[in-house]
Amino acid sequence: MSFSGLFEALAAERGVAEVIGEAKAGLAASDLTCAPASRPALLATVATHTERPLLVVTSTFREAEQLSAALASLLDDDQVVYYPAWEILPHERLSPRSDTVGRRLEVLRRITGRDESPVPRIVVAPVRAMLQPQVAGLAELRPVRLRVGAEYEMGRLAADLVAAAYQRVDLVERRGEFALRGGIVDIFPPTENHPVRLDFFGDEIDTITYFQVADQRSTDRTLTEVEAAPCRELLITDKVRGRAANLVADHPELAELLERIAAGQAVEGMEALIPALADRLELLIDVLPSNALVLVNDPELVRTRAEDLVRTSQEFLRAGWAAAATGGKAPIDLGASAYQLLGDVRAHALGRGQGWWSLSSFAANPDASEIEADASLAGVPSRHLDLTDTSSWHGNVDGFIDQIKRDISEGWRVLLSVEGAGQASRLAEVLGDNDIASRIDEQWTVEQTPVVQIFRSGLRNGFRAAGVQLVVHTAADITGGGNERTARKMPTRRRNQIVPLELKPGDALVHQQHGVGRYVEMVTRTVASATREYLVLEYAPSKRGQPGDRLYVPMDQLDEVSRYVGGEAPSLDRMGGADWRQRKSRARKAVREIASELIKLYAARQATKGHAFGPDTPWQRELEDAFSYTETPDQLATINDVKADMEQVVPMDRLVSGDVGYGKTEIA
């Protein structure tokens, strides 16, 4: 489906048109504010109207996956790629999953034009992938390409697979393994869901089929060609073996690991030695062209996540050395592999001529930031885009219909995004029953029409572009289901804002500046000819024997006040005293102590070896397919996460939680 009409309509919006012009002109830095729901369409519009490749950086893995899926539904699949990060810390004695490595190498080849697929317009990556140095030249690691009818001497094939970090076994059960049996070669590439079987006639590949791990039988699914991508980002070459041998004397705590690498063996956790064994390191932005534009999605969340990554990595390393002092294995401490500081990466990108823009949400209060300002945005020009969120009706179809009729009567162009053809037909029927004309389109046009145009996309939530009178609604907005809106991130004190009418005299409340007080009453006072309502809080007396001090909080400052949620009756603080500062200091100290203990605990767990389960078998899939209920997207995501944990050698540590009736038993 083509969305060129949607992109043209958005590009006509004044603010978006100026953004496109600035991107074309090479503006180095800019802070854009717009509704989160509008960002996939905005990014796709910018990508299609400029020649600059985009790197969109998110704070988490899941956010990156969701954003890349939404973008891929608007653009062609080959124009958007997701670049995953390692799921381990740089200095752990663990290796990244082979499927993660395979996907990363595939994306790097495409970015640099070394793949047959077109160069993507947009790369989406979590900040973790951008901050971690990687081996320079990974894009040059070519997969082993196998095609029906091609000749490939089996001895050379085995040598090429070993060089690509595949392990030769008798029976292929895991990604990164291969087996030779007469004229048959079994391979499990890291980028495939199932292993493949090559049947040779002499040195010629006769057939390529998938086969089942459980019973090792071939399936009816045949292939004309397959690519066996490398399974590791550090391949054992003669140069790597020589460097490993030379490092044994300098790092006796790593002697066992280095000696095995020097002998040509691929070892679990060897990637932590990349800084010492590889020629040089580079960052993801070094692989991108010099005219690339980096767009940081929600910069404050990304900055916080980046700081957490650096801090956690350092604390985990210290905990590892502490465990080594008591007899455990020493961590792999080669500092060059650690995460880089976000500010340093930003400076490096700007130094290469790349742009560094940010996409922020609307501030809750135009006079006060809801979160601590990001220092990297100081002095950066900002632009507010008139792209706002639509309403969510949570099943109120009548309210949705009324809104559609108002939009049409006011001259708005109305689009309705759905996930499937069945959903499109049902919504078209609902609109028709309410005398609203609609049509299901495969190609959206910019025509001015009172007809609601229904199309399929991966947009999760809708948005409004007032400048061009365009509104996009989604099925999730109507039903309220699957709504994972990431609009304003409200501070805890705002999410737990008190309701004055629910307060009772004597309730303990906490003021952000003055600490714990006792609710007395609500009063109306006139100050400077202005009549306002106030919340009265009583605090401990400043002098013994005197009545408690009182604080009058205006109703427009209730975001400074929240309920006390401690488990016991609190003592009142003194206004202007040191009680509240000391209480906060003790709380911070307790949190740091708990965090330190957790880090030590998880460091010990990571050093422990557990049982790694194999991938799904046909019988297991048959059992799952026989289940009478359809899993929700969240259930499927949870199931996949649990299975991924079970296939790791590290003991699983995951809690599946949810309210009664939300499907925990189905997941188990």
Q: How confident is the model at residue 364 (pLDDT cuts 50, 70, 90)?
A: very low
Question: How many other C-beta atoms can be found within 10 angstroms of the C-beta atom of residue 154?
Answer: 16
pLDDT in tens, 341-358: 999 999 999 999 999 999
Q: What is the DSSP string of 580-636?
A: HHHHHHHHHHHHHHHHHHHHHHHHHHHTS--PPPPPPPHHHHHHHHT-SSPPPHHHH
Residue 584's pLDDT is 82
d(CA 591, CA 204): 64
Residue 201's pLDDT is 93
- For domain 27-139+278-382, which architecture applies? 3-Layer(aba) Sandwich (3.40)
pLDDT in tens, 598-630: 877 777 776 777 778 877 776 676 677 667 667
d(CA 363, CA 298): 12
Q: Distances from the Cα of 497 to the Cαs of 487, 490, 493, in angstroms?
A: 18, 10, 6
d(CA 345, CA 351): 10
Q: How confident is the model at residue 631 (pLDDT cuts 50, 70, 90)?
A: confident
pLDDT in tens, 9-56: 999 999 999 999 999 999 999 999 999 999 999 999 999 999 899 999
Question: How many other C-beta atoms can be found within 10 angstroms of the C-beta atom of residue 174?
Answer: 16
Q: Which two tokens stand for residue 80?
A: 């958007």
% of the chain residues with pLDDT over 90: 44
Residue length of the chain? 668
Highest mean pLDDT: which range of 6-10, 53-57, 537-541: 53-57
User: Class assignment of domain 492-577?
Assistant: mainly beta
Residue 371's pLDDT is 31
Residue 593's pLDDT is 83
Examine domains 27-139+278-382 and 142-228 and report if their fold is the same.
no
pLDDT in tens, 469-524: 999 999 888 876 544 433 334 444 444 567 777 888 988 999 888 889 999 998 88
What is the CATH topology of the domain spanning 390-479?
Rossmann fold (3.40.50)
Per domain, the residue ranges of the chain are 27-139+278-382, 142-228, 390-479, 492-577, 609-667
Res. 59: pLDDT tops 90: yes
Q: What are the φ and ψ backbone dihedral angles of 157, each rounded to 5 degrees?
A: -60, -45
pLDDT in tens, 388-416: 988 888 778 888 999 999 999 999 999 99
Residue 529's pLDDT is 67
Q: Which CATH superfamily is domain 142-228 in?
A: Penicillin-binding protein 1b domain (3.30.2060.10)
d(CA 191, CA 263): 28
Lowest mean pLDDT among 164-173, 174-183, 595-604: 595-604
